[in-house]
Amino acid sequence: MKLVFEKGMNLSEVEVIRHYSTLSKLNFGVDFGFYPLGSCTMKYNPKINEDMAKLEGFTLLHPLQPVSTAQGALELMHNLEKMLCEICGFERFSLQPAAGANGELTGIMIIQAYFRKKRENRSKILVPDSAHGTNPASVSVCGFEAVEIKSDKDGNIDLGELKEKMTEDVAGIMITNPNTLGLFDQNILEVCKIVHEKGGLVYGDGANMNAMLGICKPKELGIDVMHLNLHKSFATPHGGGGPGSGPVGVIKELVEFLPIPLIEKKGEEYVFNYENENSIGKLRSFYGNFGVMVKAYTYLKAIGAEGIREVAEIAVLNANYLKEKLKKHYNLPFDRVCQHEFVLDDSKMPNGVTTNDIAKRLMDYGFHPPTVYFPLIVHGALMIEPTETETKETLDEFANAMIKIKEEAEKNPEIVKGAPHSTPVKRLDAVKAAREPNLRWKP
């Protein structure tokens, strides 16, 4: 359906409604189909979360109104912090960071403040090659030098290289665990021990926390500071730039460096506490993305403690089920039990069919493509994360589409290389778009 609006044109209400309703369906989302975007945890977001966030008692609040008139909001944030502490084992959380990358920045600033108070001049942060791509950027923004640590043949942090590079001028290490290969690092306890013995701190990137909820607590692994993604593991919508929420949790020794204000309960009243001279200060305007917090709180209250563990168990089950079905048809560079996601590659694809071709062809079958060409340590990577909210039937349909694409690559490769064929916009020149972006709209 196409409408060309001209000056003076008269349209009926139903024409306008149908036009914009049709346009809205052109955008793919988790409400319309399977969204196996590895490392992003694009799970279904229960609508009750949205209903709670829309309550007038929340939406009509202003962040500058007197604290005495916003006790319900402060109580919710206080309780949410306690829940996150219980899940992760940490002493305190700051809910202020706006998203994952902002949480990373917060964590590295806390590490920096810790060593500044100790009057230790440490200039480096270790970053495994299996970590998230934003980790080195966060390190650099804070003025540290990012030092890469390679993975071993099993996808773990290479202990030999870690011991060599963990010197007295290293402030710590940023660990994504499970890592971007979807693997739980079998050496995680030893990694943390090596870093701690040299006086360093361990930062945990919690973007993949969906695989560990209710099963293990990051603090008990040896993590000192860590961010979570409420917009991933805790079922609040994300994509398109936000909004997100990246709370940061710390061990007892690092509480004094958390952003201000922290929420305290004094008697029966909830208050903002700004009295912390060693705090790194504010990381965001006001107190964080409150609407996202309401959704995450609702999610946690709805599923409870038993539900938290079930989230991780089913996410891991779904990923391993898909992995086992697809490894017979695609190359699996690390063939061991995965966590919430796994990585395939295009090294065994016939007739020059690439990861990009596979991703485009999946769109013809009604599926959003998985994350492609990441992590960088796997050439031609396809990073697949089914999440716990998908049924076995959906997983089978996706697996069958992937198997069909492999067969097409063998018998009729041009149909794969020319995909997508059924979408409103066909294959774009992604390289040209990246190198020569044209952001000027022309009517």
Q: For residue 273, give the 3-state DSSP assignment.
A: strand
Q: List the helix and strand counts (H, then E) for the chain.
A: 14, 12
| Fold observed for domain 23-45+312-421 | Aspartate Aminotransferase, domain 1 (3.90.1150)
The closest of 33, 18, 68, 142 to 365, measured between CA atoms, is: 33
Nearest by Cα to 255 from 117, 127, 389? 117
DSSP letter string, 247-270: -EEE-GGGGGGSPSPEEEEETTEE
Closest of 111, 124, 115 to residue 170, by C-alpha: 124
| Tokens encoding 260 | 């201000």
Give the phi and the psi of residue 170 in degrees, each rounded to 5. -100, 125
Can you give the pTM of this predicted structure?
0.92
Using alpha carbons, select from 315, 294, 309 the residue that is nearest to residue 57. Answer: 294
Q: Which residues contact 354 (CB under 8 A, 6 or more apart)?
A: 346, 380
pLDDT (0 to 100) of residue 330: 98
> Strand pairing of 262-266 and 269-273?
antiparallel
Contacts of 337 (CB under 8 A, 6+ apart): 320
How many Å apart are CA 172 and CA 200, to the nearest integer?
4
Task: Parse the chain into domains and list their residue ranges.
Answer: 23-45+312-421, 49-302
Q: pLDDT tens per residue, the chain (443 residues)?
A: 455 555 557 889 999 999 999 888 888 888 889 999 999 999 998 999 999 999 999 999 999 999 999 999 999 999 999 999 999 999 999 999 998 899 999 999 999 999 999 999 999 999 999 998 899 999 999 999 999 999 999 999 999 999 999 999 999 999 999 999 999 999 999 999 999 999 999 999 999 999 999 999 999 999 999 999 999 999 887 766 568 899 999 999 999 999 999 999 999 999 999 999 999 999 988 899 999 999 999 999 999 999 999 999 999 999 999 999 999 999 999 999 999 999 999 999 999 999 999 999 999 999 999 999 999 999 999 999 999 999 999 999 999 999 999 999 999 999 999 999 999 888 988 888 889 888 776 65
CA distances from 177 to 79, 91, 203 (A): 26, 20, 10
Query: How do 170-176 and 269-273 pair as beta strands?
Result: unpaired
Tokens representing 189?
Answer: 């306890």
* CATH for 49-302, options being 3.90.580.10, 1.10.10.10, 1.10.3720.10, 3.40.640.10: 3.40.640.10
CA–CA gap between residue 412 and residue 416 (Å, rounded): 8
Which residue from 66, 217, 93, 205 is spatially nearest to 138, judged by alpha carbons? 205
232 φ, ψ (degrees, to nearest 5):
-120, -80
The answer to whether 195 and 166 are in contact (CB under 8 A) is yes
Contact 373, 382 (CB under 8 A): no
